[in-house]
Amino acid sequence: MSTQQTYYHYFFILLILLVINSVHAEDDFIISAHPKIVIPTGPELYDGTAYYSTGGGVQIEGTYYPSTLDYLFGGIELDMSVLPINGASNSANFIGLGATLGVKVSPYARLSLNLKGRGGLYMGIIDAGAIRDPYYGAGASITFRSSPGFSFGIESSYSNYLTSQEPVLKAFSFGLTGRYTFGGASKAAALDFTSQLNPIYPLFFSYYEKNPAGKVHIRNEESTKVKDLKVSFYVKQYMDQPKICLQQSELARDERISIPVYALFTEDILRVTEGTKVAGEFKIEYTYIGRRKKESVPVSVEIKNRNAMTWSDDRKAAAFVTAKDPVIMSFAKNVSSTVGSYHSTAVNERFRTAFGIFEALSLYGMGYVKDPNTPYEELSITEDAVDYLQFPNQTIAYKAGDCDDLTVLYAALLESVGVRTALITIPGHIYMAFALDMEKHQAEKIFLDTKDLIIRRDEVWVPVEITLVREGFLKSWQIGAKEWRKSSEEGTAALYPVHDAWNVFEPVGFISGGAGVVMPDRNMLLDRYQKELRSFVNRQIGPRENILKKKIAETNSIRAHNSLGLLYARFGLLDKAAEQFRRVLTYSEYVPAMINLANIHYIKTDMQKALEYYSDANRKSPRNRNVLLGLARTNYELERYEKADEALTLLETEAPKLAEQFAYLASSSTEVTNRASRAIIHEVTTWEEGE
């Protein structure tokens, strides 16, 4: 085998080794070839003329760019040159095999400047002889990357071929170069991608659609920008399709971005009853030097059990208020039907419903049990501590729970029958309140002491310490109000309406589990409810009743009789209220008494009698808002829709806001809306105080 053949074998063996290594690495391995013009600068003959004339050649190079030091490169080269010999008919041939080492600078996207040193062994064939000695040199090139796999540019180099320490050839060369990146067509851009995923809480599976489940950090480490960047997140078991987290037109060279991770989980994630880890992935798409690229980055996703949550935001508990759970709806509607059969009109329907459901829970055997493993008072002060909350149907099945379990249960029961609720947090404790749907001035006329209520933005709430479920509604209310007052004065109490919290933390749908509910005996519940409600009414009216009776005895005041009648009426003592109004009307056409007596007949559904009294009051006071409302409601009940429209039109002029509340009375309303409104149509809040 000749020496020249040996050089070729060495070259191809090294080339194969580099290619094999590049397959298993993310580094760049580049094959380049360029034809060149060779301009000799020495040696010279004795007369000073050049020994060689300008010639040509080709250079083939394999270059390795490590990913960790992408500004350095090294490789091997095969350099072949042919130069005519001046004054002779033949040419000199030089074949060199050597190594290169250099640096790369990219001042602009896609553009690279390469500087390198060269050296190795060459074989020179001149006339009939051959020379085998070392050579050295330097080179520089400017290349433009037109695609991930191909670059082109210009290259120049200097070579010094030695023999016995004297140069046999010195030459400059320059020419065009084409460079192919091995695997470049399929190679991704150098994007540094790291992710930080938070644990996933199944209960909030819909929350993650618009709120981050973690973050992704991306840096473009390439020499050029990437375009049309798209990042999505996917967990195969619990998502129907990837959720797009980012769509960005371009990511500049060396640019860093941090993006939130979103996910659209399915309800299947609610089947996770024990914490687990599953495989997820980030899908990355982008355009890189004119080609569309796709990558997949695997990631481990921690999923907590479906009852888990943290107290980083107290509103999270609202997601457990599952008002549409069939078990919850069945319990609440049964109780509401039972207590509704006792035709009291005390306070309003929402108050009576909340009262009745509380007493039903007590009779059902519901109790407070502190959870030793996840006590609220300890976990609530640590935002990342994982708590375990029971779903309402689980608490129904277990007949026990701690403060957070009982709070979400009672709230879910009330919400399922249309009573708005709120979560109350004070240091180390959570309980709830329900809305009376009345304004402050109305509450002040009904309740003996409004300090037992929470009044915020003219909304009236009743705080209930549900952990005292076995001690009765009235005590639970009293203690709840006391806790609120104390913490409010200290500035540590917070109230979160459940409907507002649902805008962020949606309640889940039906959760499998729970158990069939054996309702408390209907007669026992009704008897207990009546007894407790009478106790409440007596406490509320007793002191005021005595004062008014004393005033009547002393002055026989018409207004005192009317006020006593109103006191009875607001607490459902309709017969006693009617008696007071009739006494007034026996010796005076007192309009407030007419209106209030008409209201009594309206509540009792004696519409004809109610219409008579409203009509009498209208003749005396034709612009009275309560009279106009009464006429609209009774005429509507009597199916005299034109008369109802007339009264409602006048009411819109005198009291627009009040008319808006009863807009369903208009004949233009749909039949469906009318029928739906009849459920609350006999509630009366428009009592006439008089002067």
In this prediction, residues 520-538 reach a mean pLDDT of: 92
**Given this model, what pLDDT does residue 165 score?**
60
- Of 261, 264, 190, the residue nearest 226 (C-alpha): 190
Residue 585 CA: distances (Å) to CA of 174, 248, 470, 557: 120, 78, 46, 12
**Does the pLDDT at position 332 exceed 90?**
yes
> Which strand (E) or helix (H) includes residue 337?
helix 326-340
Is residue 510 scored above 90 in pLDDT?
no
CATH level 2 (architecture), domain 3-181: Beta Barrel (2.40)
pLDDT at 3: 46
How much is the average pLDDT of 679-685? 63
- The string over 222-261, giving b where at least 16 C-beta atoms fall within 10 Å of a residue's C-beta and e elsewhere, is bbbbbeebbbbbbbebbbeebbebbebeebeeeeeeebeb
* Overall pTM surpassing 0.85 (yes/no): no
Cβ neighbors of 315 (< 8 A, separation 6 or more) are 423, 496, 500, 501, 504, 505
Q: Tell which wins on pLDDT, 342 or 678.
A: 342
Across 56-90, b (16+ Cβ under 10 Å) vs e yields: ebebebbbbbeeeebeebbbbbbbebbbbbeeeee
Provide CB contacts within 8 A for 566, sequence distance 6+. Answer: 445, 577, 596, 687, 689
574 contacts 604 by C-beta, under 8 angstroms = yes
pLDDT greater than 50 at residue 7 = no
**N- to C-terminal Cα distance for the chain?**
128
Which parts of 117-175 fold into alpha helices (H)? none
Domain boundaries, the chain: 3-181, 191-303, 313-520, 589-691
pLDDT of residue 77: 93
Helix residue ranges per DSSP H, 158-238: none
Q: Which residues contact 576 (CB under 8 A, 6 or more apart)?
A: 565, 568
Q: Say what the pLDDT of residue 678 is.
A: 45
Q: CATH assignment of 589-691, given 1.10.10.10, 3.40.190.150, 1.25.40.10, 1.10.3720.10? A: 1.25.40.10
Q: What is the largest CA-CA distance in the chain?
A: 150
pLDDT tens digits, one per residue of 141-167: 998 877 767 888 999 999 999 887 677
**Block residue for tokens 């962020």:** 504
- Say if residues 352 and 339 touch (Cβ distance below 8 Å): yes
What is the model's pLDDT at position 305? 92
Phi and psi at residue 546, to the nearest 5°: -65, -40
Q: Which two tokens stand for residue 478?
A: 């009293």
CA distance 477 to 113: 80
Residue type, 517: V
Q: What's the rounded Cα separation, in Å, for the pair 441 and 451?
A: 14
* Residues 648-677: tens digit of each pLDDT: 999 999 999 889 888 888 876 544 344 444
Report, as an integer, the average pLDDT of 525-553.
92
At 491, the amino acid letter reads G
* Top-tier CATH class for 191-303: mainly beta
Residues listed for the chain = 691
Residue 158's φ and ψ, nearest 5 degrees, are: -125, 135
The two structure tokens encoding residue 528: 């207990």
Among 123-132, 345-354, 475-484, the range scoring the smallest mean pLDDT is: 123-132
Quickly list DSSP for 515-574: ----PPPHHHHHHHHHHHHHHHHHHHHHHHHHHHHHHHHHH--HHHHHHHHHHHHHTT-H
